[in-house]
Structure 1
Amino acid sequence: MRCDLCGTDEAIPFKCRYCNGTFCSVHRLPPNHDCLFMKDYLQQPARDREFLEHIHGRAGLPQERIKSALYETFYLRFSKTEVLHLVIATALVTAVGMSFYRFQFRWDFLVIFISAFIIHELGHKFLAQFYRAWAEFRVLLFGAVITAFSALPFFPFKFIAPGAVMVSGNLSESRSGKVSWIGPLTNLAMGTGFLLSYLILETAVGFANKILLAGVWFNGFIAFFNLIPFMGL
C-alpha cells in the first residue's frame, strides 16, 4: 500500500487515527503529513506525543531528552490488536507444549511454555523499539494453522511458529540482524539457566525437579524453530 503523501510503497502501512489517511513510517505522525486534525493530536498528553516524536527522530526539548530516552527504552507499547494476537499465539504454543505430556494440566508446565514464548517475542519487540522502529506481533495464518494441528496428539511432528514480530523502520542490516537474533538468544539464555539450576540442585541435594529439564528442552525447541529462516518467530 502506498503512502498518501509521498507515494512510497509500504509493506506495513500506518493509518492516522485522526484523518484516517495511510502513510509510510516517515509521514505517519500528524505533524509530518500536515494532518487536518492537528488540534486533536496536540490535545494528547504531552508524554505520549513526546514518545511518538522521539522514536521518529523528533526529540523534544534538550532538557527532556534523557527522560525521553529512558521512556523510549523501558516502555513497551501494545495495541489492542497486538494483545489479541499474542493471546492467540500463546494459547497455540502452550497447546503444543502440553501435547508432549498428553495435556496433563500442571501450572509449572504452563509457566514454562508461556514464559518461553512471551519473553522470546518481547525480546524482538523491545530491541526493535529501542532502535526507534515500529514493532508489533502478528499471528500468521499458515503458521498458526500448522501450529494448531501439531498440538494434536496424533500429529507426527511438532511445529511452533504461530506468528512473528513485524518491524518497520530505517534499521541497518546490522540492527535488523540483532533484532532477529535476540529472540532465540533469550531462549538459549533461559534454557541454560534451567540446565544450570538442574545440575546444581542434582549435585548439591541429589534431587532436582524435572520441570527444570522441561524448561531446557522447550526453550531449545523454540530457539531451534526461530533459527530456521522461513519459520522465524
Structure 2
Amino acid sequence: MLLSLFEIGQFIILTLALGYIFSGFIKTDPYKPRKLFDWEDIKFAAIVSTPAVVLHEFGHKFVALAFGLDATFYVWGTGLIIGIILKAINSPFLFLAPAYVAISGSALPYQSALIAFAGPFVNLLIYVVSIFVIKTKKKMSDKELIGWTISKRLNIFLFIFNLIPIGPLDGAQVLNGLMGMF
C-alpha cells in the first residue's frame, strides 16, 4: 500500500503543525507583525512549507518501496512539540525535525544511498520547479510570488542541509551507502 490511513492521519497532523510553526516566518504580508495565531498566515505557511517536508519524506518512502522494502511515514512528536513551543514563546529560532520514514528490510549499500538521496533530490526538484514558475508565469499575485520565492529558498536550504554528511542527516546515509559499495 502506498499510504495507509495511519500515514494520512500523520500527514494531516504534520500539515497543521507546520502551518502553525512556520506562520511567524512565512507570512502573506512580510511587514505584518508576528502574532501567536493568525489563521491566514497558518494556511499560507502550510501551503508553502508542507510540500518541502512531506514530499521529501515521501521520496525516501517511495524509493524504499520500489526496492521491495517496507517503509512507513511517521510524525516525530518531540520535534513538532519543540517547534510548537518555540513558536508559542515567539522564539526567533526555529528547530524542526518533524517527520521521518522508518524503513525495514535489508537494503544493499547502493539502495541505502539512493533511498537517503531521494528526499533531498525531491527538494532539489521543487526548487527547480519554483524557479521555473517564477520565471515563466506571466501574471502572478504578490502572494503567489512570495509563496514561490519562499518555496525556492526553503527547498534549496533543505537540499543542501540534508546532504551534510553528519549524524542522522541524509548526507551521512548517502556517504555510508556509497562507502559500503567498495
After TM superposition, is the score higher than 0.5? Answer: yes
Q: Structure 2: how far apart are the matches of 1:194 and 1:174?
A: 30
SS of 1:170's equivalent? coil
Q: Which of the residues 197, 208, 224 maps onto 2:133?
A: 197
Q: Which of the residues 9, 14, 20 maps onto 1:95?
A: 20
Q: Structure 2: how far apart are the matches of 1:206 and 1:114?
A: 21
Q: CA-atom RMSD, angstroms?
A: 2.9
Corresponding residue for residue 172 of structure 1: 108
Q: Which of the residues 144, 148, 151 maps onto 1:215?
A: 151
Residue 113 (1) aligns with residue 49 (2): yes
* Cα deviation digits, residues 57-86 of structure 1 (max 9, x gap): xxxxxxxxxxxxxxxxxx6142x3333333
Corresponding residue for residue 9 of structure 1: none
Partner amino acid, structure 2, of 1:198:
I
Partner amino acid, structure 1, of 2:103:
V
Asked whether the 8 Å contact 1:160–1:222 carries over to 2, the reply is: no
Q: CA deviation at 1:126?
A: 0.7
Partner amino acid, structure 1, of 2:7:
E
Check 1:148–1:185 CA distance in 2 against 1; reply closer, same or farther (3 A cut): same
Equivalent pairs, count: 156
Q: Which of the residues 78, 84, 87 maps onto 1:151?
A: 87
Corresponding residue for residue 10 of structure 2: 85
When you count helix as a share of all residues, which structure comes out higher?
Answer: 2
Check 1:149–1:221 CA distance in 2 against 1; reply closer, same or farther (3 A cut): farther
Asked whether the 8 Å contact 2:64–2:103 carries over to 1, the reply is: yes
Asked whether the 8 Å contact 1:194–1:213 carries over to 2, the reply is: yes
SS of 2:40's equivalent? coil
Q: Structure 2: how far apart are the matches of 1:206 and 1:162?
A: 31
Could you tell me the TM-score, scaled by structure 2's length? 0.70
Asked whether the 8 Å contact 1:82–1:138 carries over to 2, the reply is: yes
Check 1:138–1:232 CA distance in 2 against 1; reply closer, same or farther (3 A cut): farther
Unpaired runs of at least 5, structure 2: 28-33, 171-182
Could you tell me the TM-score, scaled by structure 1's length? 0.56
Higher relative contact order (CA 8 A, sep 6+): 2
Q: CA deviation at 1:224?
A: 4.5
